[in-house]
Amino acid sequence: MYLISLLPFWLLYIISDILFVFLYYIIGYRRNVVQENLRNSFPEKTDKERAYIEKEYFKYLGDLIMETIKTISISEKEIKRRVVATNPELLEQYFKTGKSVIAVSGHYCNWEYAALNFCFFSDKKFMIIYKPLSNTTFDDFFVRVRSRFGGIPVSMSQTMRKMVQYKNEQTVSVLVGDQTPVRAEANYFTDFLNQQTPVFLGIEKLAKTLDDIVVFYKMERLKRGFYTYTLLPLTNEAKQTATHEITELHVKCLEKIIRDKPQYWLWSHRRWKFKPEDIQR
C-alpha cells in the first residue's frame, strides 16, 4: 500500500475507476446492504433515484479507498491544498474562553482527511477518537496514519481517561458520531434517516462532564480529491443543555448533509443492525 500511495492522484483515480467496476458490477460488494439502507432512508424517492445514489456512492467509495491509501505518504503541503477549512479562526475564539473543543461529524466525505487537517490550526493537542477494528493489521495502519501530523489516536474505550489526563490543557477531540453501538450499549434511539437508530451517548457525556464546547464539522466535496469543511457551533455551554440535546443536535446536522448529497455517506455500513424492540431491558 505504501508503494501505491506514492502514485500521483490522477493515476490513483484511474485505479479507482477500475475498482468501481469491480465493486459494483463484478462482486457486487454489499449492494444488498446499500440498497436496503437507501430504500429505508428515502422511501419518498423513486427506484430510479435510489439506483442513481447507489451507483454514485460506489464511484465515490473507490475514490475514498484510494485517497485513504494516499494518506500513508501524503505531504503536509498536499493535505493543506486539498482540504481547506472555511472558518478555522473559530477554534482560536473558543480557546480564548479557556475551554476545550469537541468536534463531531460522521462517516461522510473523507473524514480521515478532515481529521488530519485539524492538526494544522493550533498548537493544542488534537485527539482523534476512533473505534478499534477487529483486524489488528488495519487497526495499526489507521493508528499510524492518524498520528502522522501530530494527532493523538485514542480508542473509544480510553476516551474519558485520556481527556481527564489532559483536563488542565486545552484540547480538540475529533469524533465521528454515527458509529453503531453494540447491543449492550444501545441505550438511546432517535429518528435518523426515517428509522429508529441507536446512537452513542458518549459525545454528550464527555461534553457535559468536562463542559467542553461542541461543534459539528460539515465536510463538502468540491471535486475529486478536494474538500472544504466548516465548523458549525452546537453549544458553548454543554453543562446547561438538556438530556440528549447535544446528541440530537449532532445527529440532525449529519442527517441534513446526508439528505443534501447522500452519495458521500458510508451506505455499505450495517448501521441498522437492530431496532428498539430487539433490546431486552
Instruction: Give the per-residue pLDDT at 60.
Output: 98
Residue 119: band (very low, low, confident or very high) from pLDDT cuts 50, 70, 90: confident
First CA to last CA distance, the chain? 45
pLDDT digits (tens, 9 = 90+) for 3-18: 999 999 999 999 999 9
What HEC string does 218-235 produce? EEEEEECCEEEEEEEEEE
Average pLDDT score, the chain: 92
pLDDT digits (tens, 9 = 90+) for 23-36: 999 999 999 999 99
Distances (CA, A) of 22 to 4, 10, 16, 61, 62: 18, 19, 10, 12, 10
DSSP track, the chain: -HHHHTS-HHHHHHHHHHHHIIIIIIS-TTHHHHHHHHHHH-TTS-HHHHHHHHHHHHHHHHHHHHHHHHTTT--HHHHHHHEEES-THHHHHHHTTT--EEEEE-SBS-HHHHHHHHTTS-SSEEEEEE---SSHHHHHHHHHHHTTTS-EEEEGGGHHHHHHHTTTS-EEEEEES-PPPPGGG---EEEETTEEEE---HHHHHHHHHT-EEEEEEEEEEETTEEEEEEEEEES-GGGSPTTHHHHHHHHHHHHHHHHSGGGB-TTS---S--GGG---
Q: What percent of the chain has pLDDT over 90?
A: 70
Residue 281: band (very low, low, confident or very high) from pLDDT cuts 50, 70, 90: low
pLDDT digits (tens, 9 = 90+) for 209-244: 999 999 999 999 999 999 999 999 999 999 999 999
Q: Is the pLDDT of residue 142 over 90?
A: no
Instruction: Give the per-residue pLDDT at 29.
Output: 96
Q: What percent of the chain has pLDDT over 70?
A: 99
Domain residue spans of the chain: 2-70, 83-261
